[in-house]
Amino acid sequence: MFIPHTDQEREDMLHAVGVKRIEDLFEAIPPKHRFPKLNLPPAMTEMEIMAQLQDLANANESTRDLACFLGAGAYNHYIPAAVDNLLRRGEFFTAYTPYQPEVSQGTLQAIFEYQSLICNLTGMDAANASHYDGATAAAEAGILAYHHFRGKRNKFVLSPAVHPHYRATLRTYFSGYKNIQIVGDENNNSQVSTSDISALVDSNTAMVLVQYPDFFGRIIDYSKLAEAVHTAGALLVVSVNPIALGLLKPPSTFGADIVVGEGQPLGIPLSYGGPYLGIFATKIDYIRKIAGRLVGESIDGNGKRGYVLTLTAREQHIKREKATSNICTNQGLMALASTIYMSLLGKNGMKKVAELCYHKAHYAAEKINAIPGFSVKYNTTPFFHEFVVKTPRPVQDINMHLLDHHILGGLNLGDYYQDLADHMLIAVTEMNSKEDIDMFCDVLAEVDHE
């Protein structure tokens, strides 16, 4: 065990603060809570503990054991073995991302490649080295918009078809700000169109947040909305699924100013909700207001190519309380995982994954729509790999029945939208075989006849 202080040093410190014993420092805590007796079982050997933990782990049902049709922001994709192998190399696998250019060219180059790939995928000019996850990236976009208008515009318009957790996180980030109006999704009603959103945009609006494909899987053309947002002088923020961008036009083509998103589908395991990867990219105009780290390419004293943190004056260690955001933490290792994933797949591989998701989801939607009692909602709007199904019985009942057949059913939308009771959000990826989908439909068909 590493003990940084000698007894003498401790004595000196206690003397300096004017107490006799370390215990005296805890006088403010009521005595009965001060040194609680821990009710722990007798010590076990490592082997015994591993066996016990394995038993606990075996009680979980994972997507390895189940056919998974649950998505809603986190998706079950195939992760090539090379991702984990490269990720665990000692040069990368550290607790804290090293940024000193003298010793960290590998890490810095990997981050630079990550940023470049994200820019390619989104059509934006600059991407940062990532945020925690899609929700915090969306919230940071709100903070950027607030600072871009120097707090003079205080209305934030959120489409209800943005992930409910992202909207909640944005509200949390803004909880310390004064006089902020967050509108558009107050009624938890899914039936809000882009023209309804558009109607809320005025000269006091800082930003409009939409999702692409939206939370219900729909692919919506936001070009008209983008025009309205820009006419009002506001910023359009688009939250994306990066896998969908293998197939869809990048958000830059319809006027996004900031693109955020959840990077988990890019080679990061579901892992019960994290660690994930927050994608954040903008047009060049907002580069000085981006939070977090940015890595740039430069030349060193010998004229050789090198990588270095750049535009650091915007960060909080220099700008202090005047910085756009206090967040500098990023998901360096997860960004690296996504970089390896995208590099392995390449442009054509990314497109292929997206196509597989798209076609399998459409096969599933068509089959489910044909089951008596079930119907696909919004079936005139194009969708990617997720869709909403009206169910004949409460979603939780159906999901219990599916679980008996080793199938993980879709999200119960009634938990998030008052008008979507008995509606299930179903996700299909390349991991779902035709047999899985057929079995899923067979079990759903049984549900109706119970």
Q: Does 319 sit near another protein (CB under 8 A)?
A: yes
The minimum distance between CB 321 and another protein, in angstroms, equals 11
Question: Residue 210 corresponds to which tokens in the numbers above?
Answer: 């939409």
Pick 314 or 367: Cβ nearer another protein:
314
Cβ atoms 124, 281 nearer than 8 A: yes
Number of residues that bind another protein (CB under 8 A): 7
The minimum distance between CB 315 and another protein, in angstroms, equals 9
Q: Which helix (H) or strand (E) holds 133?
A: none
Cβ atoms 255, 111 nearer than 8 A: no
Which part of the chain contacts another protein (CB under 8 A), choosing from 206-214, 270-278, 313-321, 411-419? 313-321
Pick 317 or 434: Cβ nearer another protein:
317
The minimum distance between CB 163 and another protein, in angstroms, equals 33
Sequence-distant (≥ 6) Cβ neighbours of residue 72 within 8 angstroms:
163, 215, 386, 410, 411, 425, 427
Q: Which of 322, 348, 449, 450 binds another protein (CB under 8 A)?
A: 322
Q: Burial level of 205, CB count in 10 A (0-12/13-18/19+)?
A: buried
Pick 204 or 343: Cβ nearer another protein:
204
Site for another protein in 347-406 (CB under 8 A): none
Strand pairing class (375-376; 386-390): antiparallel
Which part of the chain contacts another protein (CB under 8 A), choosing from 108-116, 205-213, 295-303, 312-320? 312-320
* Whole-angstrom distance, CA of residue 264 vs CA of residue 137: 13
Pick 32 or 322: Cβ nearer another protein:
322
Q: Does 15 sit near another protein (CB under 8 A)?
A: no
Pick 62 or 312: Cβ nearer another protein:
312
The minimum distance between CB 319 and another protein, in angstroms, equals 4
Question: Can you name the residues that pair with 427 across neighbouring β-strands?
Answer: 386
Q: Does 313 sit near another protein (CB under 8 A)?
A: yes
Question: What backbone phi and psi angles, to 5 degrees, belong to 53?
Answer: -65, -40
Pick 88 or 288: Cβ nearer another protein:
288
Which part of the chain contacts another protein (CB under 8 A), choosing from 167-175, 246-254, 318-326, 412-420? 318-326
The neighbour count for residue 406, using CB atoms within 10 Å, is 12
Q: Which of 370, 135, 342 is nearest to 237 (CA)?
A: 135
Q: Which of 196, 209, 119, 112 is nearest to 155 (CA)?
A: 209
Which part of the chain contacts another protein (CB under 8 A), choosing from 165-173, 214-222, 314-322, 393-401? 314-322
Give, in degrees to the nearest 5, the angle at Cα 23 between 21 and 26.
Answer: 130
Q: Which helix (H) or strand (E) holds 197?
A: helix 194-200
- Provide the CB-side half-sphere exposure for 300 (13 A, CA): 9
The minimum distance between CB 185 and another protein, in angstroms, equals 31
Q: Which of 37, 150, 178, 449 binds another protein (CB under 8 A)?
A: 150
Q: Which of 288, 347, 393, 406 binds another protein (CB under 8 A)?
A: 288
The minimum distance between CB 175 and another protein, in angstroms, equals 25
Q: Which of 366, 431, 437, 331 is nearest to 79 (CA)?
A: 431
Q: Which of 19, 318, 370, 403 binds another protein (CB under 8 A)?
A: 318
Which part of the chain contacts another protein (CB under 8 A), choosing from 220-228, 268-276, 316-324, 413-421? 316-324
Sequence-distant (≥ 6) Cβ neighbours of residue 387 within 8 angstroms:
216, 217, 361, 365, 376, 377, 378, 425, 426
Q: Which of 314, 360, 385, 423 binds another protein (CB under 8 A)?
A: 314
Instruction: Tell me the CA end-to-end span of the chain in Å, nearest whole number.
Output: 62
The minimum distance between CB 318 and another protein, in angstroms, equals 5
The neighbour count for residue 307, using CB atoms within 10 Å, is 22
Which part of the chain contacts another protein (CB under 8 A), choosing from 264-272, 315-323, 324-332, 400-408? 315-323
The minimum distance between CB 148 and another protein, in angstroms, equals 10
What does 290-308 look like in DSSP terms, one character per residue?
--S--EEEEE-TTS-EEEE
**Per-position x/- string for 199-218, each x denoting binding to another protein as judged by CB under 8 A, each - no binding:** --------------------
The minimum distance between CB 178 and another protein, in angstroms, equals 18
Which spans of this chain sit near another protein (rule: CB under 8 A)? 150, 288, 313-314, 318-319, 322
